[in-house]
Amino acid sequence: MAWRGLHLSQPSRLSLADGQIVIDQDDGTVRLPIEDVAWLVLDTQHATLTAALLSACMEGGVAIISTDATHLPNGAMLPFHGHHRQADIAQRQVAMGEPLKKRLWQAVIRRKIANQAAVLSARGRDGASALAEMARHVGSGDPDNTEARAARHYWQSLFQRFRREDETDRRNKLLNYGYAVARSAIGRALVANGLLPAFGLHHASVTNAFNLADDIFEPFRPFVDMLACAQAEDGDQGDLSLSDRRFMAGALLVEARMGEEAMTLLAATELASSSLVRAILTNDAAEMALPSLPP
């Protein structure tokens, strides 16, 4: 099982040799087995990749994340679907009834808000108990939009003088970097389990190829928030440093819990996606497993 991520910030020449990713840089060469790598962040404008390596990465299920000239993620490359029951699972996904979608969305939002409460508690912020209570009252499909009410409470408690829409705030840059990496892993896991990322449970934008990924990603966001808190300073307007970017690129290696089992967040993306398939096949939202923050 893939367990490693790569973050490249120096000029690099990447190629394929003997089933390995060969990374040539000015200070030497590194080789890594493709089967060990889950994601690759190209955080440099001076990297070249051979077509053979790109093909091998797609065959191996490696998510490749590109960044713009300011080093912020701006795209992800995912493999075509290769699950042995691709057509069957995709058909069942598309045919999913609204009652099941609403129950699954209820489970997603309950866990998201519960995880947000855990973040507030872990950071010593006020309001954790109020959020935990909100999580218990999320209805099927979240008809009362508890998610939005919880979000307002959460961000006001987590950060001082913070607006999620402020693109100049370094805290938002940290969040967005980590979100992009973790979201790509969700897409990777959904594809590996035969699901179509474009068809969501709640998100339904006709211009979004990752509606389902954005749905399942919601309970994973608080894990990234915890990292950003550890790296952020209130009201900082600066750009992200290389250390910041490397720190947030490691979001998939933080600890998560699936039930009583501890694992990396990367492994949790894979279990969450496979459990979604079970929920769809059995028409039972209780089959859905989602990560929680460790105590």
Alpha carbon separation from 126 to 54, 129, 139 (Å, rounded): 47, 8, 25
The CATH 1.20.120.920 domain(s) of the chain lie at: 86-287
User: Which architecture characterizes domain 4-77 according to CATH?
Assistant: Ribosomal Protein L15; Chain: K; domain 2 (3.100)
User: Which architecture characterizes domain 86-287 according to CATH?
Assistant: Up-down Bundle (1.20)
For residue 2, the model assigns a pLDDT of: 80
Arithmetic mean of pLDDT, 82-87: 70
**Of 292, 78, 274, nearest to 194 (Cα)?**
274
For residue 207, the model assigns a pLDDT of: 87
Residue 292 has pLDDT above 80, yes or no: yes
Arithmetic mean of pLDDT, 37-54: 94
Alpha carbon separation from 32 to 74, 83, 108, 133 (Å, rounded): 25, 25, 35, 46
Arithmetic mean of pLDDT, 87-92: 89
For residue 79, the model assigns a pLDDT of: 79
Confidence band, pLDDT 50/70/90 cuts, at residue 114: very high
Lowest mean pLDDT among 115-124, 143-152, 226-235: 226-235
Taking only the tens place, the pLDDT of each residue in 218-258 is 999 999 999 999 998 666 778 899 999 999 999 999 999 99
Query: Taking phi first (over 0 means left), then psi (-120 to 50 degrees means alpha), and beta for anything else, what does residue 135 get?
Result: alpha
Asked if residues 44 and 10 have their Cβ atoms less than 8 Å apart, the reply is yes
> In what order do the strands lie in the sheet containing 63-67?
4-8, 37-42, 63-67, 73-77
Q: Whole-prediction pTM value?
A: 0.90
Confidence band, pLDDT 50/70/90 cuts, at residue 286: very high
The CATH 3.100.10.20 domain(s) of the chain lie at: 4-77
For residue 86, the model assigns a pLDDT of: 77
For residue 84, the model assigns a pLDDT of: 62
Mean pLDDT of the chain: 93
C-alpha span between 74 and 80 (Å, rounded): 20
Give residues with Cβ within 8 angstroms of 241, minimum separation 6. none
User: Given CA atoms 291, 146, 196, 7 in this order, what sign does their dihedral have?
Assistant: negative
